[in-house]
Homo-oligomer: A and B are copies of this chain.
Amino acid sequence: MPHQPPHMSPEEFRRHGHAAIDWIADYWASLDDLPVRSQAAPGDVRRLLPASAPKAGEPFDALLADLDRVVVPGLTHWQHPRFFAYFPANSSPAAILGDLISSGIGAQGMIWATSPAVTEVEQAVLDWFAEALGLPADFRSDGPGGGVIQDTASTATFSALLAALHRASGGEARRHGLGDAGWRVYGSSQAHSSLVKAAMMAGLGEDAVRSIAVDPETQAIDLAALEAAVEADVEQGLTPVMVHLAAGSTSTGAMDDLVGAGRIARAHGAWVHVDAAWAGVAAVCPEHRAHLAGVESADSFVTNPHKWLLTTFDCSTFWVRDRAALTGALSILPEYLRNAATESGEVVDYRDWHPQLGRRFRAIKLWAVLRTYGLEGLREHVRSGVALAALVADLVRADDRFELVTEPSLSLVVFRLRSGDEQTMAAMEAVNASGEAYLSHTTVEGRAAIRLAVGSWRTTRADVERTWRALQAAADG
């Protein structure tokens, strides 16, 4: 036998493991003093790395040291208390430790039989979470529906589209391809870019996506325009296969009318997919469920605990009313995965619920979040984000140089400088370049706007006020 390679001994694992935990705690403690946005230029990080992998192994401490020297200066700190760009990617201590346990267990849950706990804990936690959000009982795993953890909402939307095509084609699509049925997909002009990407990947092409106008005020889908587009397509012999509805758009947090749009979709047999990637988790608070009114008509629903709800990426929770459509589109059964449990029909094999075969035990991190915070803790977290966004909106309203672009949506505030697009972008860029806070932009009705998305568990009132002072200074500047 060859010499054994230098695997860490149990004692070394404990020692380096404790050091890694401490590195993270120290990194977090340093965040407040670091520029939020990395000041690295292209190539700055790469330049600090050797050209090749080392021949001989190095101690783990060398890696920890290089994190500070090489990596940290090249990071934009998504866990920084003044990170307000895009949407948060909140990674809480409980979720991190839950996910660490998953790595230690290192089990594969592609089918029930490959490690039953991976599937059963996930089913239980998804049922818990559906209940916590007030989702319809149809999404529970004890009926014909069920939930699954996907990596991202993009993948969930793609999976929903494949399920929709499977149902609409009566199973022909998976066997013979899309054919020339003229499938059409609908979403508002504010729908997430993953809708067009899903259509591209599914073989429909960008042209198959009808971009529906929105109400200029609310940025929500215009129901009359949706109905007209669907009817015009049907008139021409095309087939509406899916309607994508945003319960919280990326740009402004706009809320499509799920009741009205769902009615139009159902009237034409189209699958209703609700993309609540960011805003869905707010429904843990009974007072923040208005945007989900009508979700009963959805065929599928996705929301990302890995955004606002404290769960380390990746954790995108996805439910379907009829899992047969989903697994019909995605099932495969090679010989080596045949087993008695699958054949009994008593178990669920998650391999058939998403594009990937392999899957890690992602439910542990969500389980850890739900248990250690409890529903009350999660509600306090969401309420804190909403309250801080309301504070931002008040600050905007109180300064004549600024104006709100849309009404605040939960923890997202979209505003601009009255003086114009250039001034708006310049003020944002000045704050971002200073490292004091990090914001991102969008365009609304053709005009530039600043997005400020609260949601990190570290963000305090003081962080919001400090960011606002920086924006005010930039507006002066």
Contact = CB atoms under 8 A, between A and B. Distances in A.
A300 B23 CA distance: 37
A375 to B, nearest CB: 5
A388 B440 CA distance: 54
Given A60-B372, A154-B356, A370-B53, A203 B206 contact: no
Contact of A312 (B70, B98, B103, B204): B103
Contacts of A451: 336
Contact of A94 (B55, B60, B100, B192): B60
Interface in A190-241: 192-194, 196-197, 200-208
A29 interface: yes
Nearest to A451: B336
A324 interface: no
A75 B16 contact: no
A67 to B, nearest CB: 7
A476 interface: no
A286 interface: no
Contacts of A293: none
A321 to B, nearest CB: 21
The SS class assigned to the A binding surface is helix
Interface string A157-189: 010001001000000011111101000000000
A166 to B, nearest CB: 9
Given A63-B368, A94-B8, A335 B106 contact: no
Nearest to A457: B7
A197 B71 CA distance: 37
A176 B180 CA distance: 12
A75 B177 contact: no
Interface stretch (A258-266, A379-387, A396-404, A416-424): A379-387
A10 B29 contact: yes
Contacts of A177: 178, 203-205, 207-208
Contact of A358 (B14, B90, B176, B314): B314
A198 B210 CA distance: 25
B314 A45 contact: no
A194 B374 contact: no
Contact of A38 (B3, B29, B93, B116): B116
Chain A, interface residues (CB within 8 Å), range: 35 or more
Which residue, A28, A205, A367, has most C-beta atoms of chain B within 10 A?
A: A205
Interface in A52-111: 52-60, 62-63, 67, 70-79, 86, 89-101, 103-108
B104 A57 contact: no
Contacts of A123: 46
Interface stretch (A267-275, A339-347, A466-474): A339-347
A375 B60 contact: no
A100 to B, nearest CB: 5
A394 interface: no
B25 A10 contact: yes
A193 B372 CA distance: 39
Given A24-B101, A380-B3, A373 B57 contact: yes
Contacts of A139: none
Contact of A108 (B21, B86, B344): B86
A332 interface: yes
Given A53-B375, A151-B356, 9 more contacts: A18-B18, A45-B116, A71-B117, A76-B107, A86-B108, A99-B100, A201-B330, A335-B441, A336-B442
Q: Which 9 A-B pairs have the closest CB atoms?
A: A203-B203, A74-B117, A24-B104, A91-B106, A17-B21, A177-B205, A57-B374, A45-B120, A5-B380
